[in-house]
Structure 1
Amino acid sequence: MNPEQLAALRTPEGVKALAMAAELASGDPLSSAAALRSSGLPADLAAAALTQADLRRRAAGKFGADADRMFFTRAGLEQATRSAVAERRAARLRAAGVRTLADLGCGIGADAIAAARSGITVYALEADPGTAAVAAANAEVLGLGRITVRHGDATAADLSDVDAVFCDPARRRGGRRVFDPGAYSPPWDFVAALPARVPRTVLKLAPGIDHGLVPPGAEAEWVSVRGEVVEAAFWCGPLAEVPRRATLVGSAELTGTGDAKAPVGTPAEYLYDPDGAVVRAHLVAEFAATVGGHLADPEIAYVYAATPAPTPYARCIKIEEVLPFSLKRLRARLRERGVGRLEILKRGSALEPEKLRRDLRLTGPAGATLVLTRVAGAPTALIGQPV
């Protein structure tokens, strides 16, 4: 969306178009567009309104009720921080004494909004003019005068008058994800140098970021929401509290060095499948200690224990059978158990679950969980039930 389209949506005619589009958003797109045009709206305004209505509907999971008033771009919504994650980050910045924040690469303004609501004055900068206009509009419609949005190059930003910097480099180009940090915008060399300029710096990055890129002395945090790992964040300088942190938003946090090693033994009666944030943060050993568990293979992040224990950090499965992997033997055993409904989990296995499901030719009324893994380096199948 360019600034001209956004301006049109904010006119009285545009507001009318958005209201009509919201009522039609769940219907057939072609019929909805025809209905808007038949009301006398210009075709380009009708299309823009329908796009916004669809994006607002999709954004509700990230932004709640705010989504109905905000404006979005497709790429901006995809990379935008969920409100619960942004609010937690803003609260931590505020508690650390941050009162003025530079938001470099602010996107549609998700983190700037949360920071402003926490009482922080935000100077937001965005390289794309259309996205910058959207961020400014969002600050205005939400009544957040603490946010100033400018269109500009983050690498030329004056950071001399801010307490802290937040940088979320763009990781998409031409509609595709960018995995090479050197291709981020702004580029990684600039991003990595920010803590030297402003010690209180937070970098939001993709969950798959290389641990080798963690700045010296920084805290590396991986964040999950309802079991989905949504981001990594590097907290630099005085903001760093621990070497590694796994944050399960709304549930719990696990911290540690990321270097600890869990004991290794044989599979036990209960298997724990740790949350992805725990695995990404290299805190499996710290988690294993909380349940008195161990690994069955030093390279596989499944934790085994003799007894079940309630934990926010992992789901638990009661293991009923341990089999060396053999498709023929596994198919026969599942048939004997009458398993027709099968959940398939895997770590350390090259098998493709849906192809295996077809090859197993499941029939029967029973359900089970199948775990494909390695035990002491050997391919192994575990059959069990969720606890």
Structure 2
Amino acid sequence: MEMSELSALLTPEGLRLLDSLPETFSIDDVARTVSRLRAAGHSPDLVSAVVTQARLRVKARAKFGEFADRMLFTRAGLEQATRLQVAARHAGRFRDAGLESVADLGCGIGGDALGLAGLGLRVDAVDADEVTAAVAAYNLAVFGDAVTVRQGLAEASDRSSVDAVWLDPARRTAGHSDTSRTRPEDWSPSLDWVFSLASTMPVGVKLGPGLDRDMIPDDVEAQWVSADGSTIELVLWSGMLAREGVRRAALVVRGDTAHELTAPADTADEPSRALGAFLHEPEGAVIRARLIGEVARALEAGTLDPHIAYLTSDAALTSPFVSSFRVREELPADTRALAKALREREIGRLEIKKRGVDADPAVLRKSLKLRGDGSATLFLTRIGSKRVAILADRV
């Protein structure tokens, strides 16, 4: 969204027009909607803005629920925005530490600031991009004087009046519509600056979950977060925001519930063992935090292969940190033989998971030519040098 579009949108006419559009419409409907609005005399900038916002609001419901229908977005801002239920947990960390004011540097469209202000903290929100800052100001206006929003660089922001800092370095190219990813050395602000600040005051830093672990300072708590099956972020906590004795954490959020594993360091894996009655797939946050061993011990499980993150056990135990499957049988890994076996078992609906093997599930699915009323999950992996196919059912 360009500033001309935002200016047209932030008028009584623009906002009324946006709210009048259907809640959902497909790509095929866009051209007809644009033609109808242009024929009604609306400017090109306004039409472009309201149609884009209507579509982004639909997409944003996955992160913001019903609040999305009262918010504005940029494409890049929505992609990098924190889900509201996760932002609330971030905010709780600041509140529980007794902090009252937070500088949100790199606030984007205001996702984390919403969580902070919603828990009663005073927020000074800053974003380098003019359009993004204006969108954040609109989204946060409901909090009145408790939140200030301005355009500026994180490095130049006055932090003398706040107790702590929340940082979400821009991991995309400059701007609010281009979403191509950048390298860590190109992030803004730089990680060197971020880590230097974190050594002087309480700081929370949201980063990509795949960050090179060698880049994580020794004196911070590293918390990986999975939400509804996806590993979404790594948060580094410094100062009084870091919990005593915790350097590794895996937070697993599903809907309104959350479970967490913590440890003072990476934990040792359990030894490998033969395929048992159950196969367990650890959450991505658990894998990233290297806490698979903790989960394995709770499940009385071992690894299927020491280099692959699948666990197996005979005990009928479950955990919020894994997805568990009851093993039916091991099938031939050869595609032709596998297809024959699945047809004999009348498996027509198949969930395909793979680790440690070179396979494209979409291509394989076509090759299998499935038919039948049955359903199952197929694991393609390896044990040592052997490629294996395991048929199982979700517990």
How does the TM-score come out when normalised to structure 2?
Answer: 0.91
Pairwise CA distance, 1:16: 2.6
Aligned: 1:157 with 2:165: no
From the superposition, tell whether residues 331 and 24 of structure 1 become closer, same or farther in structure 2 (CA, over 3 Å). Answer: closer
From the superposition, tell whether residues 38 and 95 of structure 1 become closer, same or farther in structure 2 (CA, over 3 Å). Answer: same
Aligned: 1:193 with 2:196: yes
Q: Which moved more, 1:240-249 or 1:25-34?
A: 25-34
Write the distance in 2 (CA, Å) between the matches of 1:2 and 1:30.
Answer: 20
Aligned: 1:259 with 2:262: no
Instruction: Name the aligned partner's letter for residue 29 of structure 2.
Output: D
Instruction: Name the aligned partner's letter for residue 182 of structure 1.
Output: E
Pairwise CA distance, 1:285: 0.8
Write the distance in 2 (CA, Å) between the matches of 1:367 and 1:7.
Answer: 52
Q: Which moved more, 1:341-350 or 1:22-31?
A: 22-31
Deviation sequence 1:203-251 (CA, Å, 0-9, x none): 1011211111212221111112211111111111222221111111223
Q: Which moved more, 1:160-169 or 1:188-197?
A: 188-197
Write the distance in 1 (CA, Å) between the matches of 2:51 and 2:300.
Answer: 54
From the superposition, tell whether residues 179 and 288 of structure 1 become closer, same or farther in structure 2 (CA, over 3 Å). Answer: farther
Corresponding residue of 1:15: 15
Instruction: Name the aligned partner's letter for residue 172 of structure 2.
Output: R
Give the alignment's Cα RMSD to 1 decimal: 2.0
Q: Unpaired segments of 5 or more residues in structure 1?
A: none
Pairwise CA distance, 1:129: 0.8
Pairwise CA distance, 1:328: 4.1
Corresponding residue of 2:40: 39
Instruction: Name the aligned partner's letter for residue 64 of structure 1.
Output: G
Pairwise CA distance, 1:3: 4.1
Quick check: 2:331–2:341 contact (8 Å CA) kept in 1? no
Deviation sequence 1:287-332 (CA, Å, 0-9, x none): 1111111112111111111022232111111112235633344334
Q: Unpaired segments of 5 or more residues in structure 2?
A: none
Quick check: 2:4–2:45 contact (8 Å CA) kept in 1? no
Corresponding residue of 2:316: 308
SS at match of 2:166: strand
From the superposition, tell whether residues 19 and 39 of structure 1 become closer, same or farther in structure 2 (CA, over 3 Å). Answer: farther
Pairwise CA distance, 1:370: 1.3
Write the distance in 2 (CA, Å) between the matches of 1:261 and 1:332.
Answer: 37
Write the distance in 2 (CA, Å) between the matches of 1:338 and 1:70.
Answer: 48
Match of 1:204 among 164, 189, 206: 206
Match of 1:183 among 175, 182, 186: 186
Corresponding residue of 1:82: 83
Match of 1:351 among 346, 359, 372: 359
Write the distance in 1 (CA, Å) between the matches of 2:293 and 2:23.
Answer: 51
What are the residue-to-residue correspondences of 1:100-249 with 2, within 5 Å? 100-140=101-141, 142-173=142-173, 175-198=178-201, 200-241=202-243, 242-249=246-253
Instruction: Name the aligned partner's letter for residue 207 of structure 1.
Output: P
From the superposition, tell whether residues 144 and 246 of structure 1 become closer, same or farther in structure 2 (CA, over 3 Å). Answer: farther
Pairwise CA distance, 1:44: 1.7
Pairwise CA distance, 1:339: 2.7
From the superposition, tell whether residues 31 and 381 of structure 1 become closer, same or farther in structure 2 (CA, over 3 Å). Answer: same
SS at match of 2:145: coil
Write the distance in 1 (CA, Å) between the matches of 2:239 and 2:381.
Answer: 39
Quick check: 2:209–2:231 contact (8 Å CA) kept in 1? yes
Write the distance in 2 (CA, Å) between the matches of 1:56 and 1:382.
Answer: 41
From the superposition, tell whether residues 23 and 383 of structure 1 become closer, same or farther in structure 2 (CA, over 3 Å). Answer: closer
Quick check: 1:308–1:316 contact (8 Å CA) kept in 2? no
SS at match of 1:259: coil
From the superposition, tell whether residues 327 and 130 of structure 1 become closer, same or farther in structure 2 (CA, over 3 Å). Answer: same
Quick check: 1:182–1:189 contact (8 Å CA) kept in 2? no
Quick check: 1:17–1:41 contact (8 Å CA) kept in 2? no
SS at match of 2:132: helix
Write the distance in 2 (CA, Å) between the matches of 1:115 and 1:163.
Answer: 13
Quick check: 1:22–1:50 contact (8 Å CA) kept in 2? no
Q: Which moved more, 1:293-302 or 1:63-72?
A: 63-72
Aligned: 1:365 with 2:378: no
Q: Percent identity?
A: 44
Q: Which moved more, 1:252-261 or 1:14-23?
A: 14-23
From the superposition, tell whether residues 375 and 128 of structure 1 become closer, same or farther in structure 2 (CA, over 3 Å). Answer: same
Quick check: 1:3–1:133 contact (8 Å CA) kept in 2? no
Q: Which moved more, 1:343-352 or 1:36-45?
A: 36-45
Write the distance in 2 (CA, Å) between the matches of 1:118 and 1:296.
Answer: 44
Instruction: Name the aligned partner's letter for residue 229 of structure 1.
Output: T
Q: Which moved more, 1:359-368 or 1:186-195?
A: 359-368
Deviation sequence 1:237-290 (CA, Å, 0-9, x none): 222221111111223112222232222211111001111221122111111111
Aligned: 1:333 with 2:341: yes
Instruction: Name the aligned partner's letter for residue 43 of structure 2.
Output: P
Write the distance in 2 (CA, Å) between the matches of 1:263 and 1:127.
Answer: 49
Following TM superposition, where does structure 1 have runs of at least 4 consecutive aligned residues deviating by more than 6 angstroms?
none
Write the distance in 2 (CA, Å) between the matches of 1:195 and 1:24.
Answer: 43
Residues matched between the structures, number: 385
Write the distance in 2 (CA, Å) between the matches of 1:258 and 1:373.
Answer: 24
